[in-house]
């Protein structure tokens, strides 16, 4: 179950104070999201850290999925984790492969999709999938549901999603700095790692736009 809790805010003066440009920086950034709670409320920190704090990967994972999923999972441990509106394969399983398989099968009960698509995560706007063409979002908030391209590879999507959530926390949680949020999206899009990533789409999806 997701906890609807406003996490403590950062103190940066602009909308893109902690922009990350490589996936290996995500564990440290996720720790920063809960830094204040770790000091002021250790019990809350422990509860939230179970799903929000992301650790470096313990070793390689062999899912053999497209969009370089295994390359990303070799960098960070995503099992049971969420980044803002994205939740990685929220399903029971003995390992990541089984979690993805169970989640994919669950989504397919409601949507008839091609065999080249594998659903790997839940999103407030729908379901995130990978295919030989990259990472996409099945947006079920649209009528009829439609597919939006997100990134060429899974790592690129995760980096942009982390930056979007970080900007959302600082600009739109307890504040109304939409201009700062858009500035963060522009700064993120300018990063070398964002080639082939639909940054604007990811930032819009994070804020429910």
Cis bond before residue 116 (omega within 30° of 0): no
Per-residue pLDDT of 122-136, as tens digits, reads: 999 899 999 999 999
> pLDDT digit string (tens) for 95-130?
999 999 999 999 999 988 888 999 999 999 899 999
Across the strands, what pairs with 88? 121
If you average pLDDT over every residue of the chain, what do you get? 90
Please, which residues have CB within 8 angstroms of residue 59's CB and are 6 or more apart in sequence? Answer: 74
Mean pLDDT value of segment 136-162: 95
What does the alpha-carbon distance between residue 32 and residue 113 come to, in Å, rounded to a whole number? 38
Cα 148 to its chain centre, rounded Å, is 15
């Amino acid at each position: 179950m997701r906890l609807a809790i406003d996490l403590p805010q950062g103190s940066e003066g602009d909308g893109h104070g902690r922009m990350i440009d490589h996936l290996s920086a995500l564990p440290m950034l996720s720790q920063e999201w809960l830094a204040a709670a770790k000091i002021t409320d250790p019990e809350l920190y422990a509860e939230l850290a179970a799903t929000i704090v992301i650790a470096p990967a313990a070793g390689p994972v062999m899912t053999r999925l497209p969009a370089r999923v295994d390359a990303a999972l070799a960098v960070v441990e995503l099992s049971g984790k969420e980044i803002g509106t994205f939740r990685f394969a929220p399903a029971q399983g003995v390992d990541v492969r089984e979690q993805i398989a169970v989640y994919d099968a669950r989504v397919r009960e409601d949507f008839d999709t091609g065999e080249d698509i594998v659903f790997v995560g839940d999103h407030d706007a729908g379901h995130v999938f990978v295919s030989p063409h990259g990472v996409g979002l099945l947006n079920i908030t649209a009528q009829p549901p439609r597919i939006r391209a997100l990134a060429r590879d899974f790592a690129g999507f995760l980096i942009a999603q982390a930056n979007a959530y970080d900007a959302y926390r600082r600009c739109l949680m307890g504040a109304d700095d939409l201009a700062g949020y858009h500035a963060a999206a522009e700064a993120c899009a300018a990063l070398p790692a964002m080639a082939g990533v639909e940054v604007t789409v990811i930032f819009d999806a994070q804020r429910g736009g």
